[in-house]
Amino acid sequence: MSIFSSILAKLGFGHTDTPAAPATTTATPAQPAPSAAVAPAATPAISAVDVTAKLEQLASANPEKLNWRVSIVDLMKLLGLDSSLASRKELATELHCPADKMGDSAQMNMWLHKTVLQKLADNGGKVPAELL
The predicted model gives 29-55 an average pLDDT of 58
21 vs 1, higher pLDDT = 1
Do residues 45 and 22 touch, judged by C-beta distance below 8 A? no
> Three-class SS of residue 62?
coil
> Three-class SS of residue 50?
strand
pTM above 0.85, yes or no: no
pLDDT over 50 (residue 26):
no
Report domain extents, the chain. 3-13+48-131
pLDDT over 80 (residue 40):
no
Predicted local confidence at residue 39, as pLDDT = 42
Query: How does pLDDT run across 47-104, given as a tens digit for each residue?
Result: 588 999 999 999 999 999 999 999 999 999 999 999 999 999 999 999 999 999 999 9
Q: What residues are paired with 126 via a beta bridge?
A: 50
